[in-house]
DNA sequence: TTATATTTGCCAAATAATGTCAAGACAAAA
DNA sequence: TTTTGTCTTGACATTATTTGGCAAATATAA
């Protein structure tokens, strides 16, 4: 489950209306609705705010937020798994000090 | 090695000037230069054209092209690997028929 | 019904991406 | 040094994408 589904799940668990979250993010409820349905992307700072309001772990939620962005790149790709492997390799190389 | 580095490597192996590839892609050499340096993103169709000119496998090059896009999302992230794992999971779920 | 919540479509504004031009840097000759 | 060709950079205009709001439509309750 990625970001959009997750914040919806959390919100429903807490029985909060979208309106309340939208207000906290200072956006229209329609916009918030779109974020929850994956039609709009939340901003990074908004993820943090949401984690607070929904009382969930910031890092975990941020990971889902990032995952959703990546997913949108590969979701229709035949070789999605292979591509992810390639990136995984690059991340490891990067961390091992082979910067840039 | 991701897309940008790879096309540069191939071009140098074949000792072709950027000018030649730029012409084939119908873009300015400056633009091509930026693509090769990762400052601009090639279009999907351009990847195919490049694979032809550089005589390399299309799918493989396309994978690198996708990888580069993903990498740009997670490269500065602490939890890059974890995020990739999450996406990997989602991809598997998707393929297993749990559409949408 | 009435009230509240969510969703949708459309629009304008904001933001990001793209490509070109002109100039600069650089190396290898000549 | 001057020339030639290649590559790179920065500023800028153009284009494309994203964003959020509004209003209307559709649910969901009460």
What DSSP line would sit under chain B, residue for residue?
--HHHHHHHHHHHTT--HHHHHHHHTS-HHHHHHHHTTSSPPPHHHHHHHHHHTT--HHHHHHHHHHHHHHHHHTT-TTHHHHHHHHHHHHHHHHTT---
Pairwise CA distance, residues B70 & A71, whole Å: 9
Per cent of chain B over pLDDT 70 is 97
Q: Chain A closest CA to B61's CA: distance in Å?
A: 11
**Cβ contact A4:A38 at 8 Å:** yes
Q: Residue A19, CB, less than 7 Å from strand C? A: yes
Pairwise CA distance, residues B50 & B48, whole Å: 5
Q: Indicate the pLDDT class of residue B1, thresholds 50, 70 and 90.
A: confident
Q: Residue A37, CB, less than 7 Å from strand C? A: yes
The range of the structural domain enclosing residue A74 comes to 3-95
Residue B33 covered by a domain = yes
Mean residue pLDDT of chain A comes to 94
Q: Residue A18, CB, less than 7 Å from strand C? A: yes
Residue B82 covered by a domain = yes
Residue B100 covered by a domain = no
A1-49 pLDDT tens trace: 899 999 999 999 999 999 999 999 999 999 999 999 999 999 999 999 9
pTM metric for this prediction: 0.92
Judged by CB atoms closer than 8 Å, whether chains meet at B86 and A75 is answered as no
Q: What is the CATH number of the domain that holds B67?
A: 1.10.260.40
Residue B25 covered by a domain = yes
The residues, ordered by sequence, that sit 6+ positions from B10 with a Cβ below 8 Å of its Cβ are B54, B55, B56
B78-92 pLDDT tens trace: 999 999 999 999 999
């Amino acid at each position: 489950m990625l970001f959009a589904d997750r914040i919806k799940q959390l919100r429903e668990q807490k029985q909060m209306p979208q309106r309340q979250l939208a207000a906290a993010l200072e956006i229209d409820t329609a916009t918030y609705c779109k974020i929850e349905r994956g039609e709009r992307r939340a901003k990074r700072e908004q993820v943090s705010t949401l984690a607070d309001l929904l009382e969930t772990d910031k890092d975990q939620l941020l990971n889902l937020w990032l995952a959703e962005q990546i997913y949108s790149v590969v979701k229709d790709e035949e070789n999605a798994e292979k591509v992810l492997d390639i990136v995984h390799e690059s991340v490891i190389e990067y961390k091992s000090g082979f910067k840039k």
